[in-house]
Amino acid sequence: MDDEDFLKFTCGDMPSQEFAHDDVASQDGGEGFVDEPTNDGEGFVDEPTPRRAVRGANFTQKEDEALCHAWRSVGIDPITGNEQSTNTYWERIHDHFEKHSKLIRSQISLQHRFQTINTDCSKWSGCLAQVDRLNPSGTSAIDKTNIAQNLFMGKPKKKGVQ
């Protein structure tokens, strides 16, 4: 296979004016290309612009409750237990969520939302435990809940942030 056939094979059937023949290449000592720019755009593929992810609507309270219900139902299933991968676990939660709530959310969206819910639940649990450790005398359960709520609203979301 000579050079011209090789170029046709690798670059497609391009017009002959774009490449110089051996005699032109030997005259200028170059690599055999003509310095004339091409205007036809052949050989270039327009890449599609990448799609940006579109942020979905916020979760409603109904969706949060359905997600927590799905998490609880899948988590306490004694047949499957804890011998499953993370992906399988979240696939089951996703399937349960869609089956019982008739709402449509992606599996990743559910994982991220549950992470937020779990963080807030852990924070709330910590506030309740702190109030129980203080054991303020003369307070009812409602008073303890109100104190815990004030602590919850005042606590930073992340460790080390004041």
| Whether residue 102 is found in the same domain as residue 140 | yes
Specify the number of domains making up the chain.
2
72 and 106 assigned to the same domain: yes
H-only helix segments in 42-140: 61-75, 86-101, 107-134
Q: Looking at the structure, do residues 73 and 26 belong to the same domain, yes or no?
A: no
As a whole number of angstroms, the distance between CA 89 and CA 124 comes to 25
Residue 52 domain flag? no
Q: Is residue 55 in some structural domain?
A: no
In a domain, 162, yes or no: no
Of the ranges 27-31, 32-36, 82-86, 115-119, the best mean pLDDT one: 115-119
Bridge partners, residue 19, by sequence: 33
2: containing domain = 1-44
Instruction: Mark whether 30 and 92 lie in a shared domain.
Output: no
What are the distances in angstroms from CA 99 to CA 58, 66, 73, 85, 86? Answer: 20, 10, 12, 21, 20
Kindly report, residue by residue over 122-145, the tens digit of the pLDDT: 999 999 999 999 888 888 999 999
**Are both 11 and 78 inside the same structural domain?**
no
From 54, 157, 57, 53, select the one nearest 115 (Cα to Cα): 157
Same domain, 38 and 113: no
Q: Are residues 131 and 75 in the same domain?
A: yes
- The reply to whether 70 and 150 lie within a common domain is yes
Q: What percent of the chain has pLDDT over 90?
A: 31
b/e per residue 72-102 (b: at least 16 CB within 10 A): eebeeeeeeeeeeeeeebbebbbebbbeebe
Residues in the chain: 162
- Contact (Cβ atoms closer than 8 angstroms) between residue 76 and residue 54: no
SS3 (DSSP) at 139: coil
Q: What is the mean pLDDT of residues 17-40?
A: 50
19 SS3 class: strand
36 and 84 in a single domain? The answer is no
**Is there a domain that residue 159 lies in?**
no
| Between residues 57 and 150, the one the model is more confident about | 150
Q: Which is more confident, 31 or 104?
A: 104
Alpha-carbon distance of 151 to 40, in angstroms, equals 69
Q: Which residue has the tokens 């011209």?
A: 4
pLDDT band at 56 (very low <50, low <70, confident <90, very high): confident
Quickly state the pLDDT bin for 36 (edges 50, 70, 90): low
Residue-level pLDDT at 116: 93
DSSP-derived letter for residue 44 is: -
**pTM, rounded to two decimals:** 0.56
Q: Do 68 and 16 lie in a common domain?
A: no
Beta carbons within 8 Å of 112's beta carbon, 6+ residues apart: none
| Three-state secondary-structure class, residue 33 | strand
